Amino acid sequence: MYRLIFAAILSFAMFPCALAQENANPKPDAAKQLEEAKKLLKQVSPGVFDLNGIQITAATRELRIPCNILHQKLPIEYALCHEEGEKVHETILQTAVRPIQIQLALLLANYQPATLGILAKLDPKEERPYKDKETEPKTPGANRLAIHVEWKEGDNTKIVPLSDFIQDIDKRKTPNDLDTWIFNGSLIDETGFVAEQTGSIISTYVDRAAIINSAAKGNHRDDLWISMPANIPAEETKVSLIITPAK
């Protein structure tokens, strides 16, 4: 039952390579950030682990991240940012959990960071949002995620796909291809783990600094996505963001 978690723990020494496969010599800042994140991991019950509020279930590879609704109605580039991030004015959800802790939790649940899939629907006539070659996960599909949001309404529990909170400004509806998200992993530069500096966690508009990106058609446009207010609970509502393997 614990195989996935224990395998990830044993491979912590390789974590910087998973953060940025092209960077063989991670900067000291990133290593320090990682060590601090590792200290927070604890087992809370058989097969269930906690990382600063993130619940990791080994058998199902499910992550549950505590968040709250920041904005109901706005143009967006992000679905989730850290509460102190640069882009909180363009996100629906925010969290107090640090980005590096979320990346670590994804690795613990045996997801593999890779960019393959982010630009799969980009029109060849359009300029690529980044020039780096696509990277592939060692296990096919291991970077593809399904993401849902869960919250309480009175005595009832609601759970919907994260995509229900988002619409295409041109068509005024949620695209069918917004249900699969790509765990690309953030980058490392001279400041350390980039998502720690920007607070970018889940991006609808292509952002290599973010940990997770949309794979939907049109994700190269920063003016395409707006929130779907009718589907979003009241601002400040506490929610759980649930990550599972994409089908």
Would you state the pLDDT for residue 31? 73
pLDDT digits over 140-166, tens only?
999 999 999 999 999 999 999 999 999
Would you state the pLDDT for residue 21? 43
Lowest mean pLDDT among 116-125, 129-138, 143-152, 190-199: 190-199
Would you state the pLDDT for residue 36? 82
Q: Which residues contact 133 (CB under 8 A, 6 or more apart)?
A: none
DSSP3 helix / strand / coil % (the chain, rounded to 5): 20, 30, 45
Closest of 190, 185, 187 to residue 28, by C-alpha: 190
- Map out the domains of the chain as residue ranges: 3-245
Q: Is the pLDDT of residue 59 over 90?
A: yes
Would you state the pLDDT for residue 29? 65
Would you state the pLDDT for residue 37? 81
Q: What are the DSSP E strand ranges found in 121-179?
A: 144-153, 156-161, 166-168
Please state the separation of Cα 195 from the chain's center in Å.
Answer: 11
| Beta bridge mates, 67 | 239
Would you state the pLDDT for residue 9? 45
In angstroms, rounded to a whole number, what is the distance separating the alpha carbons of residues 141 and 89? 32
pLDDT digits over 95-126, tens only?
999 999 999 999 999 999 999 999 999 999 99
